[in-house]
Amino acid sequence: MIRLAIRVRHQDAELALAELLALAPHGVEEVDLGDRVEFAVYGVPGELPVLPDLEAAIGGALVEVVTTEVADDWAERWRDFHKPIDVGPLHVRAPWHPAPAPERLDVVIDPGQAFGTGGHHTTRLCLELLLELEPAGAVMDVGCGSGVLGIAAEKLGFGPVRGIDHEVASVAATTENARVNDVPFGVLRHDLLTDGPVGSAQTVLANLLRPLLLRIARDGFAGGGTPQNLIASGLLETEADEVSAALCDALGLQEAERRVSGEWAALLLVA
């Protein structure tokens, strides 16, 4: 078994992931390396993307390609990579981890399509800020990935919850995870760069990268709607001032709170 990994700068991660998923649609492992993001796929040599195709697709975003042989127990070690997390009353875990005590809100997220189970700094920060809000009203999860934020919102008492993502695999993963958690969660495929703005909700969750958050600031929401609460993350701490100013100026919001973990930041903007 071979592990093929590409490493890119954070600002190029969204582009690199989209291109890699087109070449390897069965899923990608994501690892935060601090100054870079690593995306990896597993397979036998004939099943993996060809290196020239990777270089052509990702171009100047590519920092490094690393190919390593993987031991026979790679599947078990991959499972060990995903750890349960606790954020307030929420317990976010993969299906193979044991259920928590009954008093905790159990959020089960299968990372089989490699969108993660909530352990990334930005996801944790979004969950922390979500817990600051009164659990009521509609939620729009923009860039829902595995659905962890929207499902957590449903478990906390928000609703109805809807989500969008430009990746077909993300829509499928969110739909399946919502089913496993027995929560209603309407999910559609939508690309912010080509399909225009999405509808607003009382609370909008946007765990995206800087270019897409700036796109929201530029395009606003469909019908001119403005959320009462906007949680924005996927940001490096050095990008937070720019994105906060752009969103607040465009949408008439104010920054109520900012949280930082590692080099990542999340914003709570309110009307």
- Give the residue with greater pLDDT, 175 vs 33: 175
55 alpha carbon, distance to own chain's centre: 25
The pLDDT, as a whole number, for residue 231 is 98
Over residues 230-234, the mean pLDDT reads: 95
Q: How far is CA 202 from the centre of its chain?
A: 20
Q: Indicate the pTM of the whole model.
A: 0.78
Residue 175's pLDDT is what?
94
Protein fold of 83-270: Rossmann fold (3.40.50)
Higher pLDDT, 225 or 16: 225
232: number of CA atoms within 13 Å, CB side?
Answer: 32
Q: Report the percentage of the chain scoring pLDDT > 70.
A: 85
Mean pLDDT of the chain: 87
Confidence of residue 71 (pLDDT cuts 50, 70, 90): low
In CATH, the number for domain 2-77 is 3.30.70.120
Residue 99 in contact with residue 241, Cβ under 8 Å? no
pLDDT tens, position by position, 117-161: 566 788 999 999 999 999 999 999 999 988 999 999 999 999 999
Query: CA 45, 46, 49, 52: dihedral to nearest 10 degrees?
Result: 90
pLDDT per residue over 97-119, tens digit each?
999 999 999 999 986 654 555 66
Q: Domains of the chain: which residue ranges?
A: 2-77, 83-270
Q: What is the pLDDT of residue 114?
A: 45
Lowest mean pLDDT among 34-48, 78-92, 140-154, 167-181: 34-48
pLDDT computed for residue 253 by the predictor: 98
Across 47-58, average pLDDT: 70
pLDDT at 161 (0 to 100): 98
If pLDDT is split at 50, 70 and 90, which confidence band does 235 have? confident
Is the per-residue pLDDT at 24 higher than 70? Answer: no
pLDDT value for 118: 63
pLDDT of residue 197: 95
